[in-house]
Structure 1
C-alpha cells in the first residue's frame, strides 16, 4: 500500500511537472511568435512608409525641375522674340528713313536741275 501511494504521488508529481513545463513552453512559444509577428509588421510598415516618402520626395523634385525648365524655356523664347521684334522694327525704321532721304535727295536734285535749266534758258534768251 505504501509503495502504491508513493508510486501514485511520484506519478502525480511527474505529471504536474510535465504539464507545467509544457504550459511554460507553450506560453514562451506564443510570446516569441507574437513578438516576431509584431516586429515583422512594424518593419514592413516602416519600409512601406519610407518607400512612400522617398517616392513623394522624388515626385516633388521632378515637378520642381520640370517647372524650372519650363520657366527657363519660356523666358528664353520671350527674350528671343523681343530681340527679333526690336531688330525687325529697327530695320524697318532704317529702311523707311533711307527711302525718305533718297526720295528727298532725288526731288531736290530734280528741282535744282529744272531751276538751273530755266535760269540758263532765261539767261540765254535774255
Structure 2
C-alpha cells in the first residue's frame, strides 16, 4: 500500500516535471531534468524499497516476536501441563501406594486377628477337653475307689462276720466240750468217791468186825484215805481244767 502511494506520487511528480519541461522548451534542461528525475526516481524507488524492506523486516520481526511469544506461551503451557500431569501422577501414585499400604496393613491386622481368634478358640477347646477328660477321669477314679471301698468293706464285713461266727461256734463248741468234760470229770469223781467210800466202809466193817481194831483208829484211817482221795481227785480236776483252758486259748 505504501509502495503504491509512493509510486503514484512519483508519477505525479514526473508528469509535473514533464509539463514544466514542455512548457520551458529547453531540450537540455529537459534532458538534465529527466535524468535528474530518473535519478531521483531511482533514489526514491530505492528508498521505497528500503522502506518496504524495513516494513517487511518489521512485520517479519513482529511475526517472529509473535511466533516466539506463542512458542514461549505454548512451551510454558506444555511445561505447566507436564508439571501438572507429573504432580497429578505423583499424587495418584502416592495415593495408590498409601491405599495399598493401608489395605495390606488392614489385611495383615485381619489375618493376625483371625490367627489370634483361632488360637484362642483352639486353646479354649483344648482347655475344655482337658477339663472334661480330668472330670471324667476323676469321676471314674472316684467310682472305682467307691466300688473298691464298698467291695473291701463288704469283704471285711463278711470276713468279720464269718470270723465272728467261727469264733462263736468254736467258743460254743469249746464251752460245750469243757462243760461235758467237767460233767464227766465230776461224774467220775463222784463215782470214784462213792467207790472209795464203799471200799472204805467195807474195809472199816471188815477191820472192825474181823480184826476188831478200835473205831477211832479206823475213823482216822478212813479220814486220811478220804482226804488223800479228795486231794488226788481235786488235782486231777484242776489238771483237766487247765488242759482244757489251754486248748481253748490255743484254738481261739
TM-score by length of 2: 0.47
- Structure-1 residue corresponding to 2:109: 67
Following TM superposition, the consecutive aligned residue runs of length 4 or more in structure 1 with deviations greater than 3 angstroms are none
Q: 1:114 aligns with which of 140, 152, 156?
A: 156
Deviations 1:32-68 (A, max 9, x none): 2222222222221121111111111111111111111
- Superposed displacement of residue 13, structure 1: 2.2
- Structure-2 residue corresponding to 1:104: 146
| Distance in structure 1 (CA, Å) of the matches to 2:92 and 2:76 | 24
- Superposed displacement of residue 91, structure 1: 0.9
**Structure showing greater relative contact order (alpha-carbon pairs closer than 8 Å, 6 or more residues apart):** 2
* Number of matched pairs: 126
| Distance in structure 2 (CA, Å) of the matches to 1:36 and 1:111 | 108
Aligned-residue CA RMSD (Å): 1.6
Structure 1's unaligned 5+ residue stretches are none
| Distance in structure 2 (CA, Å) of the matches to 1:72 and 1:102 | 44
- Structure-2 residue corresponding to 1:10: 49
Residues 1:84 and 1:11: Cα distance change in structure 2 (over 3 Å): same
1:4-43 map, 5 Å? 4-25=43-64, 26-43=68-85
| Distance in structure 2 (CA, Å) of the matches to 1:121 and 1:32 | 128
- Superposed displacement of residue 80, structure 1: 0.1
Larger radius of gyration: 2
Matched, 1:84 2:126: yes
Deviations 1:87-125 (A, max 9, x none): 111111111111111111111111111211222233332
| Distance in structure 2 (CA, Å) of the matches to 1:116 and 1:32 | 122
